[in-house]
């Protein structure tokens, strides 16, 4: 079968790597892709916002399956338009993608279906939001309702910080995303991400991961899309995983089906493991980035039959096998990220890193410029190490990172620190 993958980041390189390894995959196309995905298939230049152009391409190339990487196209209804044209697509409909696209939607959904999450209020004007904060007290969490590229959450330790965040959002500081604001209880616990494949009626557990959102070592600096991740995460024991499936994932699937908007695709639950058990922080409706880069190297089963089963509603017939090894990814970002990343600096010797045992390198923001590979985005490369412990995976990843010659980039040197500390007792 010919497969079309939508997206251009490290997540998509990892997916392209896994999909292209399947005996079921004849030709793999990636739109628009990056220099890394070009090693797994054929990059194609199509405007992915132009759904009719995508439909035409799928017909021309006899595409049997479209896999959508990022959330933007899903929220824009790409899955609906492809499905309407009779094309099989892995990823939720626009209506189901609201689980990521609107925090207020998700909070109300959780309340209706008894899914554990922080208590909350939803506001469309500053005065009532301020009154709620005054009544609840600090610390408290203020969130923009819509997609705000990781900038829409303010953890307010004082009432003043909370009120400043409310004023910033309602005065248009985050554009349309802040037209509505959600105010939440500040939950205490350990964070973990959990991924489940869903077909509308059935869900199967994939694996857990832990991302590192701050830009600099010691979890300092501004929030980013993620500077590194590892999988699995020790807090997600088999017992906790079973609770997450029973208390969070399955009720979500049942609720979405009951509302007539069944969820198909990857459900990515951002969780807080609290003293009372797992609670949902937020949903995403696609693989995480850089989480996908640590999930795919651990997946022992062919991913393509699982993606097709998710489209066809027969995931109950699929079991996925996972490596016992830990995978740990380090993101190499261009200097200036997450603010104004510098573009165009030359990157050398990726092949030396990729040639190491138990190491994979996934491209994100790179570009081929004549004979040079250059930086062309904020997060530029992901270097993944595999090992029997988080410590071993971490050593492998960083020794490969050190073989790459890129003065224009930087990375965190402490990805996995909490789990390594735990291993060392
Ligand atoms: P979100 O964009 O909703 O995932 O939030 C970004 C980060 O803010 C999360 O990864 C958590 O670290 C933190 N966070 C969000 N909501 C809460 C909450 N209610 N309690 C504690 N931490 C939170
Ligand atoms: N790494 C977090 C995300 O993909 O949303």
The ligand 1 atom at the shortest distance from the C-alpha of residue 143 is 3
Distance 290 CA to ligand 2 centre (A): 7
Nearest ligand, measured from the Cα of 144: 1
358: tokens are 């138990």
Report the atom number in ligand 2 closest to the C-alpha of 290.
1
Cα-to-chain-centroid distance, residue 63: 25
The CA distance from 65 to 116, in Å, is 34
Backbone angles phi, psi at 381, to 5 degrees: -140, 155
The pLDDT assigned to 221 comes to 92
Report d(CA 264, CA 141) in Å as an integer: 30
* Burial environment of residue 358 by CB neighbours within 10 A (0 to 12, 13 to 18, 19 or more): middle
Q: Write the pLDDT tens digit of every residue in 276-311.
A: 999 999 999 999 999 999 999 999 999 999 999 999
Measuring CA to CA, how many Å separate 66 from each of 92, 201, 311, 416? 12, 20, 10, 33
Judge if the beta carbon of residue 118 lies within 6 A of ligand 1: yes
Residue 3, strand partner residues: 28, 65
Digit-coded pLDDT (tens) for 51-84 = 999 999 999 999 999 999 999 999 999 999 999 9
Nearest CA residue ID for atom 3, ligand 2: 288
Confirm or reject: Cβ of 100 under 6 Å from ligand 2: no
Write the DSSP assignment of 41-91 as a string of letters.
SEE----TT-HHHHHHHHHHTTEEEEEE-SHHHHHTTHHHHHHHTT--EES
What's the full length of the chain, in residues?
425
Closest-CA residue, ligand 1 atom 18, reads 186
Which domains occur in the chain, in start order? 2-93 (3.40.50.20), 125-179 (3.30.1490.20), 190-317 (3.30.470.20), 326-424 (3.90.600.10)
User: Is residue 7 in contact with ligand 2, taking CB distance under 6 Å?
Assistant: no
Measured distance CA(344)–CA(111) in Å, rounded:
48
Q: How far is the CA of 226 from the centre of ligand 1 (A)?
A: 14
User: Do the Cβ atoms of 328 and 229 come closer than 8 Å?
Assistant: yes
Positions of E strands within 335-405: 346-347, 359-363, 366-369, 372-375, 379-387
Find the helix or strand (DSSP H, E) in which 113 lies.
helix 103-113
Across the chain, mean pLDDT equals 96
**Does residue 189's CB lie within 6 angstroms of at least one atom of ligand 1?**
no
Both structure tokens of 185: 């209880």
Given this model, what pLDDT does residue 387 score?
98
Q: What's 343's DSSP letter?
A: P
Is the bond into 32 cis (omega within 30 degrees of 0)?
A: yes
The atom of ligand 2 lying closest to the CA of 292 is 4
Tokens of 230: 């590892």
The arithmetic mean of pLDDT across residues 36-41, rounded, is 98
pLDDT in tens, 211-244: 999 999 999 998 899 999 999 999 999 999 999 9
Indicate which ligand has the atom closest to the C-alpha of 177.
1
**pTM of the full structure:** 0.94
Q: Report residue 177's pLDDT band, with 50, 70 and 90 as the boundaries.
A: confident
With a 6 Å cutoff on the Cβ, whether 191 touches ligand 1 is yes
- Residue 222 in contact with residue 214, Cβ under 8 Å? yes
Taking only the tens place, the pLDDT of each residue in 321-358 is 999 999 999 999 999 999 999 999 999 999 999 999 99
Query: Please, which pLDDT band fits residue 103 given cuts at 50, 70 and 90?
Result: confident
Question: Smallest Cα–Cα separation from 397: which of 337, 351, 347, 353?
Answer: 353
State whether residue 415 is helix, strand or coil: coil
Residue 150 predicted with pLDDT over 70: no
CA 9 – CA 395 distance, rounded (Å) = 24
Mutation test residue for ligand 2: of 288, 296, 330, the one with most atoms within 8 Å of CB: 288
What is the pLDDT at residue 414? 98
- Is 147 touching ligand 1 by the criterion CB < 6 Å? no
Instruction: Compute the distance from residue 100 Cα to the ligand 2 centre, in Å.
Output: 11
């Amino acid at each position: 079968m010919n497969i079309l993958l939508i997206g251009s980041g490290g997540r998509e390189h990892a997916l392209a790597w896994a999909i292209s390894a399947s005996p079921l995959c004849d030709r793999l196309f990636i739109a628009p892709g990056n220099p890394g995905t070009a090693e797994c298939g054929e990059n194609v230049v199509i405007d992915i916002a132009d759904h009719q152009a995508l439909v035409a391409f799928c017909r021309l190339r006899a595409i049997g399956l479209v896999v959508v990487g990022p959330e933007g196209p899903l929220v824009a209804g790409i899955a609906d338009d492809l499905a309407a044209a009779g094309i099989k697509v892995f990823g939720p409909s626009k209506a189901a993608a609201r689980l990521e696209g609107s925090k207020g939607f998700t909070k109300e959904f959780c309340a209706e279906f008894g899914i554990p999450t922080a208590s909350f209020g939803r506001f469309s004007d500053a005065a009532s939001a301020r009154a709620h904060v005054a009544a609840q007290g600090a610390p408290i969490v203020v969130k923009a309702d819509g997609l705000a590229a990781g900038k829409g959450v303010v953890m307010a330790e004082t009432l003043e910080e909370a009120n400043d965040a409310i004023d910033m959002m309602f005065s248009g500081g985050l554009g349309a995303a802040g037209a509505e604001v959600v105010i939440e209880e500040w939950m205490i616990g350990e964070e973990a991400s959990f991924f489940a494949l869903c077909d509308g009626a059935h869900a199967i557990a994939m694996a857990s991961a832990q991302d590192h959102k701050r830009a600099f070592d010691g979890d300092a600096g501004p929030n980013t899309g993620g500077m590194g991740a590892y999988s699995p995460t020790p807090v997600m024991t088999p017992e906790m995983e079973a609770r997450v499936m029973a208390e969070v994932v399955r009720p979500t699937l049942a609720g979405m089906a009951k509302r007539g908007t069944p969820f198909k695709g990857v459900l990515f639950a951002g969780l807080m493991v609290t003293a009372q058990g797992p609670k949902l922080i937020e949903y995403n409706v696609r693989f995480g980035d850089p989480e996908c880069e640590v999930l795919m190297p651990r997946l022992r089963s062919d991913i393509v039959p699982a993606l097709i089963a998710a489209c066809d509603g027969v995931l109950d017939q699929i079991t996925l096998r996972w490596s016992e090894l830990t995978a740990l990814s380090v993101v190499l970002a261009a200097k200036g990220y997450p603010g104004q990343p510098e573009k165009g600096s030359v990157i050398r010797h990726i092949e030396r890193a990729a040639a190491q045992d138990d190491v994979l390198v996934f491209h994100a923001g790179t570009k081929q410029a004549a004979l040079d590979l250059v930086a062309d985005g904020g997060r530029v490369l992901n270097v993944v190490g595999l090992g029997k412990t988080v410590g071993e995976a971490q050593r492998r990843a960083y020794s490969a990172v050190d073989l790459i010659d890129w003065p224009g980039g930087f990375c965190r040197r402490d990805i996995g620190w909490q789990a390594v500390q735990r291993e060392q007792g």
